[in-house]
Amino acid sequence: EVSARLRKDLLRGLGKHSHHKAPVKMLPTFVRATPDGTEKGDFLALDLGGTNFRVLHVRVEEEAQKVLKMDSQICAIPQEMMLGTGEQLFDHIATCLGDFLESHNLKGQTLPLGFTFSFPCEQLEIDKSILIRWTKGFNCSGVEGKDVVQLLKEAIHRRGDYHIGSVAMVNDTVGTMMSCGYKDQSCEIGMIIGTGTNACYMEEIKNVKRIEGEDGRMCINTEWGGFGDDGCLDDILTEFDVEVDKTSINPGL
């Protein structure tokens, strides 16, 4: 029964006229293919999606068909920052990135950056993503309805001591699918079970009625954590579910 209800909501989210009100957002990611093993180069990655924030430097070589080098550093996000201003949060991210570049002698380089921001966003382009709402205990002011890539760039610009190259905005489900897909090209689903839960998958573009075009495929970020937000699961919630929801920082979500 729950499966049938979820399937119905997945289809609502893909619909041209129904996606606006769909609790399961089915967001286009503008990622059109999984890796084919020929990718190579040096890349930076930022991963924000919980109480910790990670900075990574990844080197990929085509001949070896594998990640040759991966350095990472974890930065904590204090509780008060999760509930403070958006400017504070992005300044903290820019500082952590700057410290990482300094300690790994990368400050002189301008490397492309993958930004994993694991909150419900409406992605308009690969480098433009609007935060729909905060979840997972975050509630920073001045970010909902804004382009988070732009907020990151502004924070880096305020520092003025390093530069980054092109930015690709990637949901954590997409990053998970892509990292597995690099080793196994049959991988076409990414799933997260952590502070929150979510999944993405490769969909035929002709089934994604909300965007133009018929040819090829695109990865869809389901945002299935929203399943039930419209009350469609109320008949199976227990009193404990209701209490946990009511006392959470994001009640109703």
Q: Do the beta carbons of residue 127 and residue 114 sit within 8 Å?
A: no
> Residue 59: which CATH number?
3.30.420.40
Domain total of the chain? 1
Q: Which of 172, 206, 209, 245 is catalytic?
A: 172
Q: Is residue 251 part of a domain?
A: no
Residue 83 lies in a domain: yes
172 is catalytic: yes
Which range of residues forms the domain containing residue 83? 2-246
Nearest-Å Rg of the Cα atoms of the chain is: 19
pLDDT tens by residue, 29-73: 989 888 877 778 889 999 997 778 899 998 887 665 566 668 899
Would you call 245 a catalytic residue per the annotation?
no
- Residue in 25, 47, 91, 136 annotated catalytic: 136
In terms of pTM, does the model score above 0.85?
A: no
Q: Is residue 229 part of a domain?
A: yes
Residue 199 CA, distance from chain mean position: 11
Contact indicator for 46, 118 with CB cutoff of 8 Å: no
Query: For 5-18, how does the pLDDT look when each residue is reduced to its tens digit (9 = 90+)?
Result: 999 999 999 998 89
Give me the percent of the chain exceeding a pLDDT of 90.
Answer: 60
Q: Does 37 map to a domain?
A: yes
Domain presence at residue 252: no
H helical segments located in 123-227: 148-159, 172-183
pLDDT above 90 (res 238): yes
Instruction: Establish if 253 belongs to a structural domain.
Output: no
Count other Cβ atoms within 10 Å, centred on residue 199: 19
Asked whether residue 118 is domain-assigned, the answer is yes
- 143 Cβ partners below 8 Å, 6+ apart? 86, 89, 131, 134, 151
Q: Does residue 192 sit within a domain? A: yes
At 155-193, the pLDDT tens digits run 999 999 999 999 999 888 998 998 887 778 899 999 999
Statement: residue 147 has pLDDT above 80: yes
